[in-house]
């Protein structure tokens, strides 16, 4: 049994017919417009099998045929594909290269778990694709993962690896959380102190913020502009859009540490601040001044050059967890509220976000922010990442705004996977593999018109207690496989989903994750080296509320 994940729309296997054997004579027939897919085939399937998969015509011998056929979109949409396998050829048809790319991921799974390795491990292996037909398309156009690299930095090579893992699971959005109180992670040439000062903290809390343990090693890192260009190009080759996030006006202590004039200097001595070494929400937020607006316009000007519109049509501005205490005490902020005729500090934040919505719109981009940007009124073209629950997304969709559903109670993968005592630094509610599999991005009761504004869904990974790639792997997998099926596949209602069948397919998928080198949480619980005994977390008991 092939056990494809995510489950395809339709698949039929012909066990009484010979499959297709890949060998030294197999060519890749890649007409104009499919060259990038052929390169990825050689980089993945070619590397794993050790076969050349040379360019060639597919009508004179064994071949993998790549075909762009616009009419496929009539039934399967822009990212759908048709895969047909017989003894003579593997034929992939799609309306666009993205569909071919997702079809290649299915082909890799059909070849077996070893097709996900970087080099052949069995030189005598006969590589056979079972005879079959597969027709497939995604349910949602936005199938994403958000990765926080501010709290704990992920080196460039690890980011590239995660893009490969997203692609292998047919996920197509990488939300790149680049700035926060604990570190600024992207080079901005006109403001060098953002990385010279803002990317480093003197020490780091070990465990939850209530923990008394500290790692006293100075901590930091950032991506150069060439690193960013490489990441964006690597994502684009895998048909993944990158959504960069610069968090404003809250979660900005690292920014203010680098440039103290950006903070509320009439309330606090911002020159005494340092990049935050703890977790949670700091009171230190940006001042609502023209100087701050001009500063971030400069930041976004460089950002738009690094993240081209075809790869990054959306720019995330955060907008979450912005305490208003300093604004309430600040004569400057109060004067700005009066000058603009605003009702309160919530409307002041809305003014701040609306400014950048207009600024980005004028440059052909769309603003997206966490659901707090609804407070005080939302600009017409802005989209919402609904994280505090479903309610913000429902309100935004009913008001005509596009929404990405990512409720904390359902798809925050930093939340613990089990209630047992061995879970490392347990955070939040128990969200098991089955819980994630039964997550439904479109809440019941949403009007048909509003439901059309649900762009899709994403899982979020906040890294306060994830110091390295292995810890991220443990929290993300295997639950990301369940999430990918929710985002891609046409599943029944939540309570009617065949989780037992999914678990059976996961038995094969674990072998794929092993081949990919993913340090996932085993079904039986954490391995000894995955545990973190004695490190305080923040477990929340009971089922999460539906809000």
Q: For 224-259, what is each residue's pLDDT tens digit?
A: 999 999 999 999 999 999 999 999 999 999 999 999
Convert the pLDDT of each residue in 124-135 to its tens digit.
999 999 999 999
Question: Is pLDDT above 80 for 1?
Answer: no
| Whole-number Å distance between alpha carbons of 29 and 32 | 10
> Of the listed 135, 180, 402, 435, which one is catalytic?
180
pLDDT in tens, 448-500: 999 999 999 999 999 999 999 999 999 999 999 999 999 999 999 999 999 99
281-333 tens-digit pLDDT: 999 999 999 999 999 999 999 999 999 999 999 999 999 999 999 999 999 99
The percentage of the chain sitting over the pLDDT mark of 70, rounded to a whole number, equals: 100
Does residue 266 carry a catalytic annotation? no
Checking if the pLDDT of 92 tops 80, the result is yes
Q: What pLDDT digit, counting tens, does each position of 491-539 carry?
A: 999 999 999 999 999 999 999 999 999 999 999 999 999 999 999 999 9
Average the pLDDT over 186-201 and give the result.
98
Mean pLDDT of the chain: 97
**What's the pLDDT tens digit per position in 375-416?**
988 888 899 999 999 999 999 999 999 999 999 999 999 999
In this prediction, residue 451 carries a pLDDT of: 97
Q: How do beta strands 81-85 and 89-94 pair?
A: antiparallel
Catalytic residue among 175, 239, 251, 453: 251
Asked if 321 is an active-site residue, the reply is: yes
Residues 405 and 396 sit within 8 Å (Cβ to Cβ): no
Residue 146 is inside which H or E element, if any? strand 142-148
Task: Considering the candidates 321, 375, 434, 440, report the single residue annotated as catalytic.
Answer: 321
Residue 541 token pair:
């008991």
159-176 average pLDDT score: 98
Catalytic residue check, 375: no
pLDDT score for 379:
81
Q: Is residue 512 within 8 Å of residue 401, measured between CB atoms?
A: no
| pLDDT band at 354; cut points 50, 70, 90 | very high
Whole-angstrom distance, CA of residue 537 vs CA of residue 539: 6
The structure tokens listed for 132 are 């079959």
Apex 163 CA angle, 161 and 315, nearest 5: 135
- Matching residue, tokens 């059309």: 452
d(CA 80, CA 73): 7
pLDDT of residue 140: 98
């Amino acid at each position: 049994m092939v056990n494809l994940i995510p489950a395809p729309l339709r698949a039929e296997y012909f066990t009484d017919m010979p499959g297709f054997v890949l060998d030294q004579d197999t060519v890749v027939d890649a007409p104009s417009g499919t060259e990038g897919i052929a390169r990825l085939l050689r980089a993945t399937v070619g590397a794993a099998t050790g076969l050349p998969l040379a360019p060639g015509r597919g009508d004179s011998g064994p071949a993998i045929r790549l075909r762009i056929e616009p009419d496929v979109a009539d039934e399967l949409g822009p990212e759908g594909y048709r895969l047909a396998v017989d003894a003579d050829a593997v034929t992939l048809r799609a309306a666009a290269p993205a569909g071919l790319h997702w079809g290649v991921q299915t082909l890799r799974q059909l070849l077996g778990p070893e097709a996900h390795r970087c080099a052949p491990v069995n030189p005598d292996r006969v590589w056979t694709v079972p005879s079959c037909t597969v027709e497939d398309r995604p349910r949602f156009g936005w199938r994403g993962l958000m990765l926080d690299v501010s709290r704990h930095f992920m080196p460039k090579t690890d980011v590239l690896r995660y893009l490969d893992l997203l692609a292998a699971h047919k996920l197509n959005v990488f939300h790149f959380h680049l700035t926060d109180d604990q570190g600024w992670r992207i080079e901005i040439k006109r403001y060098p102190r953002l990385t010279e000062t803002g990317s480093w903290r003197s020490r780091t809390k070990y465990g939850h913020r209530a923990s008394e343990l500290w790692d006293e090693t100075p901590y930091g890192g950032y991506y150069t502009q060439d690193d960013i260009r490489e990441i964006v190009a690597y994502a684009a080759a895998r048909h993944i859009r990158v959504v960069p996030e610069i968090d404003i006006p809250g979660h900005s202590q690292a920014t203010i540490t680098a440039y103290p004039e950006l903070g509320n200097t009439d309330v606090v001595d911002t020159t005494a601040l340092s990049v935050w070494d703890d977790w949670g929400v700091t009171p230190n937020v940006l001042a609502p001044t023209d100087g701050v607006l001009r500063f971030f316009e400069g930041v976004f000007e460089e950002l738009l050059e690094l993240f081209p519109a075809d790869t990054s049509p959306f720019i995330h501005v955060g907008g979450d967890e912005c305490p208003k205490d300093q604004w309430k005490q600040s004569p400057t902020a109060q004067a700005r509220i009066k000058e603009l005729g605003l009702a309160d500090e919530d409307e002041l934040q809305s003014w701040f976000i609306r400014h950048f919505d207009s600024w980005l719109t004028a440059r052909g981009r769309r603003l997206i922010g966490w659901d707090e940007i609804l407070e005080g009124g939302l600009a017409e073209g802005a989209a919402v990442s609904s994280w505090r629950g479903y309610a913000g997304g429902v309100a935004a969709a009913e008001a005509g705004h596009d929404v990405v559903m990512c409720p904390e109670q359902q798809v925050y993968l930093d939340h613990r996977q089990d209630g047992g005592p061995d879970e490392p630094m347990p955070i939040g509610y128990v969200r098991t593999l089955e819980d994630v599999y039964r997550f439904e991005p479109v809440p019941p009761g949403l009007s048909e018109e509003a439901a059309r504004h649900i762009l899709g869904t994403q899982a979020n990974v906040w890294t306060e207690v994830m110091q390295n790639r292995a810890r991220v792997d443990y929290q993300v997998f295997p639950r990301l496989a369940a999430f990918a099926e929710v985002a891609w596949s046409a599943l029944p209602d939540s309570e009617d989903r065949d989780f037992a069948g999914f678990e059976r397919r996961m038995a094969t998928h674990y072998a794929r994750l092993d081949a990919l080198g993913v340090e996932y949480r085993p079904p039986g619980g954490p391995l000894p080296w995955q545990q973190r005994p004695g490190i305080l977390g923040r477990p929340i008991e009971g089922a999460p509320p539906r809000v």
